Amino acid sequence: MKAVIQRVSQASVTIAGNKVANISNGLLVLLGIVAEDTQEDIVWLSKKIANLRIFEDEAGVMNTSLITSEGDAIVVSQFTLYASTKKGNRPSYIKAAKPDIAIPLYEAFVGQLETDLGKSVQTGEFGADMKVELINDGPVTIIIDSKNKE
């Protein structure tokens, strides 16, 4: 599992003209999934994101997590995170998990993040043409791959 985590002061997801997710302060998480991902990847990545200390404390130091900052989160499926650009100019997405594998893993990740945060997490819609808007706060953008946890 690969996640691009962006600290935002505002983020939203719109599908076919309808805003389906909207937060102020928090994290926008773009999530890529491969067929080899497991429950272990879900738990590890969710805990890492929930506890990542990238919010400023009273002293202006990035020392606070999403949990302690009481921010919100949006998780958006993003199969293009596993694009291969080694050959030619057209990316290959062969590494990305097919929907029959990816959807249950995506839903399990969202559920695990809700458990870790102790609140509901907003989402886009798997496979939909989404318009994602955000104001990246900082900017702070972190990329985490569950296969590189050691």
Q: Which residues are catalytic?
A: 78-80
In three-state form (DSSP H/G/I as H, E/B as E, the rest C), the secondary structure along the chain is: CEEEEEEEEEEEEEECCEEEEEECCEEEEEEECECCCCHHHHHHHHHHHHHCCCEECCCCCEEECHHHHCCEEEEEECHHHHCECCCCCCCECCCECCHHHHHHHHHHHHHHHHHHHCCCCEECCCCCCEEEEEEEEEEEEEEEEHHHCC
DSSP 97: P
CA distance from start to end of the chain:
14
